[in-house]
Structure 1
Amino acid sequence: MLDVITYENWSEEKFKEVSQNNKDYFDILKWAYNTYSTEDIVYACSFGAEGVVLTDLIYKVKKEARIIFLDTGLHFKETYELIEKMKQRYPTLIIELKKPSISLDQQSREYGEELWRTNPNLCCQIRKIEPLKEALAGTRAWISGLRREQGPTRVKTEYINKDEKFKNIKICPLIHWTWEDIWNYIRLNHLPYNELHDQQYPSIGCEPCTKQVLNGDLRSGRWVNSDKIECGIHVQ
């Protein structure tokens, strides 16, 4: 029997064996929840379109799965409204809003007003990366909704990845899904979704750093007028 894959015992042989035995997104999800205990695995969900799809898929595999949302305190009201709808739809899922260790007022006093404008990388570090690091402490694996189609930094993402940033195993079931696949699933399954998607917001993050998209690039509304393209969570 294959040992549980952890950051410490990762090997190409174990990676290949799991990959060969699990050919699609649902196989990978079943493998993940059969392999790791509830305490050992968590889904970090942003509750974008991919997020509601993956939450629904996870619910079909593990009714008591743990899900965390990185609550920066800067999200759109529509995002918080969607989370409440998801809690009602999936009452057995453990959905936690993980907050940073410092409030926005404390951040302003220590680093200046609107840090997301003056130093967006530091803002993401404080309000997203550090809280995720805390949430993953004690776990062996975490799930992400990354898709290869999303951009150049994600094209080499595998179903199972050795995550050097968080010293963990990162599982990405949706890597081969297209944007069309995501929306077909949402409509076929009548899933709730963020209303901002209907207002030309395909990729939704914090309110100050997310704008409408008019040129067809799904992530071009994030960190507009900046060379920043990732919050840093998925950058090794």
Structure 2
Amino acid sequence: MVVGERDAAGDYDRVGKFAAELRGETPTRIIEWALERYAPRLAVVSNFGPSTVTVIHHLAELGKTDVPVLHIDTGFEFPETEEVGARLTQRYGIQIQDIRPELTVTQQAEKYGDELYKSDSDYCCYMRKVLPLEKVLSEYDAWVTGIRKSQGSTRRAAQVVEWDVRHDMIKVNPLAEWDSDDVWAFIRENDIPYNTLHDNGYPSIGCWPCTRSVAEGGDERSGRWSGLNKAECGIHLTHFATPQPTEKGR
């Protein structure tokens, strides 16, 4: 395939073959494959969680710190999340591209009320995460994530390479077969910068209004949208109906 030339239909037909060939391979080899096939139209999407800082370290070991790292800055980031992004940049020299929603937090509050994340968390996630990422990913042919099968029922079917129906592109999950212990052993062995909230009972970190600490031994994503029947913001869901909002005052 010519660099920069998208063969979406062809890759859709071959995704099963790709996944079979890479099944059982190391994250390094899976990332190498993605680089060989899709760079420079390949991006990593990271919330600076344990899995994606691990992916970033693998890229650095391969000498590929020029691969764009897309970070969704919702405006509700913990200070610790912003701080780990700075430490990753200092350590690896990566190129972080902050993706921001169309509306600021203040503009959103004026239009939809002060706590949309409580009154309609699906639409809040859609505006602040799903839609901004969707627009930027249209510039690429494939994206790399840190999702793992062990993260819960919504991710149990993840493959190392799969077709992303929502974004009409290849999605690469090099850590799909790893569990949390694998990730943390790798982080400690390589002294990788990570979010210090993980040391204080936060196994999974998103926006501050929707993230809670978890009792020791709890499911690693149970602190996200606690009390709601929800486990995903939408960017990793195959089928995601666009929420319909209710504007303030209506």
Query: TM-score under structure 2 normalisation?
Result: 0.88
For residues 14 and 194 of structure 1, the distance between their equivalents in structure 2, rounded to whole angstroms, comes to 33
Once residues 207 and 55 of structure 2 are traced to their aligned partners in structure 1, the CA distance between those partners, rounded to angstroms, is 20
1 CA distance for matches of 2:209 and 2:123? 15
- The answer to whether the 8 A contact 2:148-2:176 is kept is yes
- Are the structure 2 counterparts of residues 73 and 2 from structure 1 closer, same or farther at C-alpha, using a change threshold of 3 Å? closer
The reply to whether residue 64 of structure 1 matches residue 66 of structure 2 is yes
The question of 1:227 aligning with 2:229 is answered: yes
The gaps in structure 2 that reach 5 residues or longer are: 239-250
Instruction: Give the Å deviation of 1:24.
Output: 2.7
Q: Superposed, which structure 2 residues align to 1:1-236 within 5 Å?
A: 6-13=7-14, 15-17=16-18, 19-20=20-21, 23-38=25-40, 40-61=41-62, 62-91=64-93, 93-214=94-215, 216-236=218-238
Q: Structure 1: give runs of 5+ residues left out of the alignment.
A: none
Matched residue SS, 2:9: coil
How far has the Cα of 1:94 moved from its partner? 1.2
**Per-residue deviation, 1:221:** 0.4
Q: Report how many aligned residue pairs link the two structures.
A: 234
Q: CA deviation at 1:8?
A: 2.4
**Aligned residue type for 2:104:** S
- Identity of counterpart residues, as a percentage? 35
SS in 2 for 1:216: coil
Residues 59 and 65 of structure 1 are in contact (CA less than 8 Å); yes or no, is this contact kept in structure 2?
A: no
Equivalents in 1 of 2:162, 2:6: separation in Å?
10
Q: Structure 1 residues 17 and 206 mapped into 2: Cα distance closer, same or farther (>3 Å)?
A: closer
Does the Cα contact within 8 Å between 2:202 and 2:213 map onto a contact in 1?
yes
Task: Indicate how the Cα distance of structure 1 residues 18 and 221 shifts in structure 2: closer, same or farther if over 3 A, else same.
Answer: closer
Rounded to whole Å, the distance in 1 between the matches of 2:59 and 2:73 is: 21
CA RMSD of aligned residues (A): 1.9
> Is contact 2:74–2:101 with CA below 8 Å preserved after alignment?
yes
Distance 1:90 1:74 in 2: 25
Query: What's the offset of the Cα at 1:9?
Result: 2.0
Deviation larger for 156-165 or 54-63: 54-63
Letter in 2 for 1:73: G
Contact 1:145/1:174 (<8 A) preserved: yes
Indicate conservation of the 8 Å contact 2:22/2:160, yes or no: no
- The 3-state SS of whatever aligns with 1:67 is strand
- Aligned counterparts of 2:209 and 2:22: Cα–Cα separation in 1: 43
Task: Please report how far the alpha carbon of residue 2 of structure 1 lies from its aligned counterpart in structure 2 after TM superposition.
Answer: 11
